[in-house]
Amino acid sequence: MWAKLALKLFSREFRRGELTVISAAIALAVLTVLTLSMVTERIAQSIAQKSSAFIAADRVLGSNHVIDTSYIAKAEQQNLKTAQMLYFDTMLFANDEMQFSSVKAASSGYPLKGQLKVKSSLNGETEVASGGPTLGNVWLSESVFYSLNIDIGDVVELGAALFNVEKVIVEEPDAPFNVFSSSRRVLININDVEKTEVIQPGSRVFYRQLYAGDESDINSFYDWLKPQLKENQQWYGVKDRQSPISNSLNRAESFLLLAGLLGIILAAVAIAVSAKRYCERQYDPVAMMKTLGSSRAMIRKIYLTHLLMVCLMAVTVGLLIGYGLQEIATHYLAKSMGTTLPMAGFKPWLVAISTGVICAVMFSIKPLFDLFDIPPLRVLRRNLGDKLAVSRLHLAMSAFTVFLLMWLFSNNIKITLILFASTLTLIGVLFLVSKVIFGGGRKLGLKPGNSWSLAIASIQKRANVNAVQLISFSLAIKLLLFLVVLKNDMIADWQSQLPDDAPNAFLVNITQNELEPINTYLAQKNIQVSEFYPTIRGRVNAVNGELVAREVSLQDNEKKDEEARAGIGRELNLTWLETPPAQNEIVQGQWFNENTLAEASIEESMLERLDVELGDTLTFLIGAQSFDAKITSVRKVNWATLKPNFFIILSPDVLKDFPATYISSVRIEPDQKRDFSQLLRSYPTVTAIDVGNFVKQIQSTIEQVSLAIGFVLTIVVLCGALVLISQVQASLGERMQEIVILRTLGAKSRLIKNATLYEFLLLGGLAGLVAAFFSDIALLIVQQQLFDLAGKLHPHIWIIGPVAGGVFVAGLGYFMIARTLKQNTQGLVRALG
């Protein structure tokens, strides 16, 4: 019997709209989580796969000593592709000429990701190599040909072995993005290393093992590998390296994660409002059922059945729509990117289902328990049970639920705590502001019979309800403004780092004598060139007179001095400048002045690494010469720019007597390549580093992320609209009563329509103004703390917020009650009954 009654009541309430909004809110929460999770996971995998070309693999194991070959065998057992490499620097000889070069020896599987591009002659066409050099052959970068005055087919001497010059290296996928690294690149077969006899005990050699395959197989292999890794071995992927591409990927993932969290907050607010309103609407039916003899157990079964049916239906619909949306979205994104997006795993499904169930249960359970406690006497005294409408326990449970959902979705406690705490603060401040504004509004002198007067009177009458609506509207608008502005700022920041005329090559190893003629030549050929930076290699040897720990070799059984102070372990590229570089910001201390003597400016991460502070003295060692410099400023460096950056910059007086070479970035247009090649032929000791492909890859990444962000914003806007719908739906019954009373008193339809429109306009405008204020403050904090952007205020959203809020809320609110306004008085009375 109770089941039949439950189904009948469910059908009736669903037609009335209360359960519709709850179901829609739960479904939207589910589809939001599923869609965002699947789209972002597939986009992230696609970007990561493309970006893996920068390390020629999905993961790399690096070491300063020989790596156990059993790792390769184990990886191949787990369906991973593998390759081996080693690097060393040595002299290359040919035609009585010699050149210090960087040698890479690779196995036949190299590269696992990306493309190795070569030419068969210096003036030939670029082609993609199907593999590396065969035994006895060597591939050289173009600058080596000029330095040694050789051509294809000549013989070069590397150690004790002779090699035939076979190809010109045009592009290596894993060429180091370090403008100080040598571009005198030499590629040989790894099986030829032994016959060169170059590697001897004590030689400085770097070993790499490359791995590529499914993420699950890689993670499984790493679980086996991790306990065996030595102290000086490093396992990394593309996002683990400090580079523009890794920074862009991490920042993009943070934004998509943030957008998903905000979407969940909006959907959760809609569910909470709708569930509470639904239970309040059931107070009278429950009281009537109790009067007619229904037991508490029977009522509990009826409404818990309603909850179960709503949950199952909404979760199912949310999953179906969410999957369809992500298929449409990923198809469009894949077409725009010109690629195929990999499939997502099971995690998005599990998180989406969990979100739907948690939302349905946690936001409904307390209002339902209150509903079961409604006394039968409410049929005579309609105010009995109204005190249950506001419950601190319900608020606490709702807050805990939102926190749990955010944590479940993000799996990042730091971001979750920041957003959760800021949202609670916003709600508290908004509630106080709304009380002050609505309370102060009662003193306004307004004429009766005026639409504006009626609108403000309506706002005053529902002060508590409107306070909740203001909070909901402001929260929705604030989050939307927040995401839109953050997206624009983030992409603008990327594009400012990589404008259309960004440098695509670097000139390194320029001597003082070559500086002026090279600069003149570039100017004559209209080749865009940036500032020339002097550089010299040096080591931080001591801090305040205390020696720092030096790098040790475990291969030679050296012991690390645990008592020594933390150091760098390698030489740094030092420079001296009179003014700070444009991409640097002084965050502590002051830059050098005319009277500066022996001072240093240090980058902030290096400050932490050396555990030093302003006023400390660093001792540098260049060759056999030692000198001191006092730290007088700390810089924040934008490492994402394609310009030379330095950890430590010294005052000009310190290094003026040391011989230095210079570095600069240049922009080479396609029609200037011949002129640039002529420059390299004229100055064979100058090294050119081409980063054009790197620029293209970063720009491609930005475009892909921008598409994904646009889709995410669309979902969040839908969540914001649902919050507004749920709020208007919650007050629909009361508005119907007011319309009946006003019509009975003789009010014209035009007066009522205008008053309703003005009421929503005022609420939306006020919500937009408050949202703009808090959005700007939140942006200032989040940009600096989470996205490493230069925080700034956005005056334009102070205008956009109120205007957009007023129009959006007024339009959507008026649309929601337009049907009610069109009904005649008799129909409204019947509907209320």
Average pLDDT over residues 431-447: 59
* For range 301-323, the mean pLDDT: 86
- Domain ranges for the chain, please list them: 2-49+246-496+698-832, 56-236, 505-690
- So what's the pLDDT on residue 394? 65
Exposed / middle / buried, residue 578 (Cβ in 10 Å: 0-12, 13-18, 19+): exposed
Least confident of 88-102, 269-283, 337-351, 560-574: 560-574
pLDDT exceeding 70 applies to what percent of the chain?
Answer: 71
Single pTM value for the model: 0.60
When mean pLDDT is compared across 61-70, 107-116, 175-184, 679-688, the lowest value belongs to 175-184
Residues 766-801 have pLDDT tens digits of: 878 877 877 777 777 766 666 666 667 777 888 888
Q: At what angle do helices 365-372 and 392-410 cross, to 10 degrees?
A: 160
- The whole-angstrom separation of Cα 508 and Cα 459 is 69
Q: Tell which residue, 796, 791, 693, 178, has the closest CA to residue 493.
A: 791
Mean pLDDT of 176-196: 75
Q: What's the pLDDT at 166?
A: 93
The bridge status of strand 81-94 relative to strand 137-141 is unpaired
Closest listed residue to residue 490, CA positions, set 777, 804, 254: 254
Q: Which residue has the higher pLDDT, 602 or 338?
A: 602
Residue 179 has pLDDT above 50, yes or no: no
Q: Which pairing describes strands 617-622 and 185-189: parallel, antiparallel, or unpaired?
A: unpaired
Rounded to whole angstroms, the Cα distance separating 90 from 102 reads 7
pLDDT reported for residue 752: 75
The amino acid at residue 15 is: R
Partners of 97 in the beta sheet? Answer: 94
pLDDT band at 191 (very low <50, low <70, confident <90, very high): very high
Mean pLDDT within 201-223: 87
Across the range 87-95, mean pLDDT stands at 85
Dihedral of CA atoms 358, 361, 363, 369 in degrees, nearest 10, equals -160
Structure-model confidence comparison of residues 15 and 588, the more confident one:
588
Most confident residue range from 607-621, 630-644, 753-767, 790-804: 607-621
- Whose structure tokens read 């079961």? 372
pLDDT at 318: 87
Share of the chain above pLDDT 90, in %: 10
| Alpha-carbon torsion, ordered 698, 703, 705, 711, to 10 deg | 180
Q: For the residues 97-121, what does the mean pLDDT come to?
A: 87
Answer whether 6's CB lies under 8 Å from 717's CB: no
Strands 625-637 and 505-510: unpaired
Whether 71 contacts 209, CB under 8 Å: yes
**Per-residue pLDDT at 425 exceeds 90:** no
Average pLDDT over residues 630-657: 83
Residue range 433-454: mean pLDDT, rounded: 60
Bridge partners, 61 (sequence order): 209, 235
DSSP conformation class of 120: S
Helix residue ranges per DSSP H, 786-824: 797-822
Does pLDDT of 438 surpass 70?
no
- Indicate the DSSP class of residue 672: G
Taking alpha carbons only, the member of 282, 348, 258, 257 closest to residue 22 is 282
Assess whether pLDDT exceeds 60 at residue 677: yes
Residue-averaged pLDDT of the chain: 77
Q: Quick one: average pLDDT of 639-667?
A: 82
Of 45-49, 151-155, 233-237, 751-755, the least confident: 45-49
Whether the pLDDT of residue 527 is over 90: the answer is no
pLDDT, tens only, 40-87: 777 767 766 666 677 888 899 988 888 888 999 999 998 999 999 998
Asked whether the beta carbons of 547 and 541 are under 8 A apart, the reply is yes
- Amino acid identity at 663: I
Nearest to 388 by CA among 404, 366, 360: 366
- Ramachandran angles phi, psi of 380, nearest 5°: -105, -40
